[in-house]
Structures are given as C-alpha cells and as structure tokens.
C-alpha cells in the first residue's frame, strides 16, 4: 500500500483508482465542435450512490499540480496521473473509482453522511487545446460542483489567470434557477507561492487580479458572496 501524501497526512488514505468520467473527441472539420463522450463504467458507479452527493472539482492551468492536489484529497501521492509531459497528463475529466463517505453538519445542526466525489479535470490552456472545449470544460466543472477549486500560479499575471475572465458574466453560460444557489463554493489555490505571506490571501488575490482584469474581480464578487483563497509554497 502506498504511503499517504505528506501534505495530506491528516487525510485518511483512500482505496481505489482514477477512472475517466468523460472525454472530449475533437471534430477536425471547419468550425466544428467535438463531442463529449461519457464513460459507461463511471456512470455505473454514480448510479449506485444512494447518499447525498458532494462533488469537488480541481480545475486550472496545466502543469500546475492539479492532479497532485486531487491525490492529496485522497491521502495519497499517487492515483491521478502525474508526469513531466509538456502538454499535461489528464485528458477530459477523471473521478475516483470509490467515492468516499464524509460526515457533514447541516445548518440545523443535524449530522448526515455524504458521498464525496473528487474530479480531476484536463488542464486549461494546454498547447493545441480547442479553446471552445477549454471554456466548456471550465463551465461544466463549475456547474457540476459543490466545491470548485481553481488552481493557479501564486504570482498572478495576465498570462496565468486562466479562465477566471469567464467570471465576468457567468449568466452567458449557466442559466440561473428561480430558487436556490446555482454555483458551488469557490476556492482559489495559489500554487508555488514564494513571497512573504500576506495578512489576507483573499485580499492579495483580489488586488493582483484587479491589476490585470478588473471585470473578473467584479464578476467574482457578484456571483460568489464569499470564497476562500489559500497559498501553497514551492514544493507542495
């Protein structure tokens, strides 16, 4: 049995392995958009779940350690594909084969058991990636998730904010229901953060993002009443 990830040492080691939930098949015809193909084996796993379901998506630029962090959530250093390929390893969206149980306290104080699925998505802005697919991938994960973890470089600039620009007008992509929340809990993960830790990572993130895309900041504040920002130093 593999040892747990040192960063996630407090997280229970999860048995199982990754399985592809869906893949994108390109259409090479002019102005053609490919098709999204679901994996029947993954759907069979989902259909066996009887408990309330929580979905955690890990999304962001390629080669920034998304899959590593998805492994951390399973108390592992292996599982979701890691590697040194220039174009990234993950294609489409993968899930863990054994969704794990987690106790959850409700607003009324009641404790319930939830089944949790972690999704590891294809990196955004992979070289030669269909940009229509990159946008749809971002929005699809956002719509599916209970918690949406966006994994980006800790040094925020125009070239590495990924698809956060889409936050400016999410209504263009997701139809808001008449009742209830339609967006997940947002968590921004700043990777390889090698500066002195600010008093508030959230304030730091908003300030730096505002320097490169003020409209994205307005969109995040509009659509997310509250969200979390964390920084991870180099080596994690």
Q: Is residue 34 part of a domain?
A: yes
**Domain enclosing residue 180, as ranges:** 18-233
Task: Return d(Cα 203, Cα 210) in angstroms, integer.
Answer: 10
- The DSSP bridge pattern shows strands 111-121 and 100-105 to be antiparallel
Q: Is residue 49 part of a domain?
A: yes
Task: Return d(Cα 57, Cα 140) in angstroms, integer.
Answer: 10
CA distances from 160 to 16, 75, 172, 210, 221 (A): 33, 28, 23, 14, 20
CATH number for position 212: 3.40.50.300
pLDDT in tens, 112-165: 899 999 999 888 766 667 777 888 888 889 888 999 999 887 777 666 666 787
How many Cα atoms sit within 13 Å of 173 on the Cβ side? 19
| 125, 68 contact by CB (below 8 A) | no
Q: Specify the number of domains making up the chain.
A: 1
Task: Return d(Cα 83, Cα 69) in angstroms, integer.
Answer: 14
DSSP assigned state of 100: E
Q: Is residue 10 part of a domain?
A: no
| 121, 70 contact by CB (below 8 A) | no
Task: Return d(Cα 13, Cα 77) in angstroms, integer.
Answer: 10
- Tell me the whole-structure pTM to 2 decimals: 0.84
What's the confidence (pLDDT) of residue 162?
Answer: 64
Q: Is residue 6 part of a domain?
A: no
| 59, 149 contact by CB (below 8 A) | yes
DSSP assigned state of 132: H
Which of helix, strand or coil describes residue 203? helix
Q: Is residue 202 part of a domain?
A: yes
Q: Is residue 214 part of a domain?
A: yes
Which of helix, strand or coil describes residue 217? helix
Q: Is residue 97 part of a domain?
A: yes
pLDDT in tens, 13-63: 888 899 999 988 877 666 666 788 999 999 999 999 999 999 999 988 776
Q: Is residue 9 part of a domain?
A: no
Nearest to 189 by CA among 222, 233, 145: 233
Evaluate if residue 186 carries a pLDDT over 80.
yes
Average pLDDT value for the chain: 81
Counts of helices then strands in the chain (DSSP H, E): 5, 9
């Amino acid at each position: 049995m593999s040892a747990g990830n040192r960063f996630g040492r407090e997280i229970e080691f999860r048995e199982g392995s990754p399985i592809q939930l869906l893949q994108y098949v390109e259409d090479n015809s002019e102005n053609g958009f490919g098709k999204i193909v679901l994996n029947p084996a993954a759907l069979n796993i989902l259909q066996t779940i009887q408990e309330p379901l929580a979905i955690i998506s890990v999304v962001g630029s390629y080669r920034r350690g998304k899959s590593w962090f998805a492994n951390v959530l399973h108390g592992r250093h292996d599982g979701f594909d890691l590697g040194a390929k220039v174009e990234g390893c993950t294609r489409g969206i993968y899930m863990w084969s054994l969704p794990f149980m987690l106790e959850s306290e409700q607003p009324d104080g009641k404790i319930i058991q939830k089944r949790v699925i972690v999704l590891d998505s294809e990196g955004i802005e992979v070289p030669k990636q269909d940009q229509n697919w990159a946008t749809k991938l971002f929005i699809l994960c956002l719509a599916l998730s209970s918690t949406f973890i966006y994994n980006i470089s800790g040094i925020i600039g125009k070239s590495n904010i990924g698809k956060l620009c889409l936050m400016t007008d999410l209504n263009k992509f997701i139809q808001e229901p008449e009742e209830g929340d339609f967006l997940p809990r947002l968590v921004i993960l700043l990777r390889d953060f090698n500066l002195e830790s600010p008093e508030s990572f959230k304030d730091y993130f908003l300030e730096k993002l505002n320097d490169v895309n003020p409209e994205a900041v307005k969109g995040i504040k509009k659509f997310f009443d509250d969200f979390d920002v964390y920084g991870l130093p180099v080596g994690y």
